[in-house]
Amino acid sequence: MKRPTTPTVRRMAGVGLIEVLVTLIVFSLGMLSLAALQGIAKKANFDALQRTNASLMAFDLLERMRINNQALANYVTAGDLGGGALGAVPVLTCDDINAPCTIQQIAAFDLWEWERILDGNMETRGAAATGGLVGATACINGPVLGGSGGYTVAIAWRGVTQLTNPLANPCGSGLGRYGANDELRRVIVIQTFIGA
């Protein structure tokens, strides 16, 4: 016996399949959005890690300067640091208690060791540096002759995403490490007073 076909039964044929297809499309769009969000979160996490490391490094150098406050002029006149600018190991590494270093030798060793930290040479895999900041440059400012006063440590590094507004601090700008117009340059600036 044949069932009678009514207009209602004919219209409902295939509705379940369309609902499944719409559900699959919505689910697929949601999964693609989650994947894109994961990529954005990874970039933000990397930038946050770089900023945290730069902050710790800046405070480390300022504390070294505070401890060796009689040689502050040696730190200020060191110039821009990063990329191995200070070269090889200083003659004296100031680790022999029987042969103490002068305050200038301590400053030279502090700057050399701190630059190695900045460049990531304290963590290596084989012969390659694996720590540090990406394309780091550091600038130290303060009274040229040393002595009590305000001191600033600025650290620039290469970020992951472009910035639209230029950063006010000039540390690292124009070096070509941070894009054609320094659009990838990130800078952290730490200021403090050090008494001599």
Q: What is the pLDDT of residue 29?
A: 92
CA angle, 40 then 42 then 44, to 5°: 70
Element containing residue 169 per DSSP (H, E): none
pLDDT, residue 14, reads 63
Cα 61 from Cα 147, distance rounded (Å): 16
Burial class (CB in 10 A: 0-12, 13-18, 19+), 94: middle
φ and ψ at residue 185, rounded to 5 degrees: -75, 130
Q: What is the pLDDT of residue 5?
A: 59
| Beta-sheet strand order (sheet of 149-158) | 137-141, 149-158, 185-194
Q: Where are the alpha helices (DSSP H) in the chain?
A: 7-12, 15-67, 72-76, 103-119
| Residue-level pLDDT, tens digit, the chain, 196 residues | 566 555 555 566 666 888 888 899 999 999 999 998 998 899 889 889 899 999 999 999 999 999 999 999 999 988 888 877 777 777 777 777 788 889 999 998 899 889 888 888 777 788 777 778 888 899 999 998 888 999 999 999 988 888 877 677 888 888 888 888 888 889 999 999 999 7
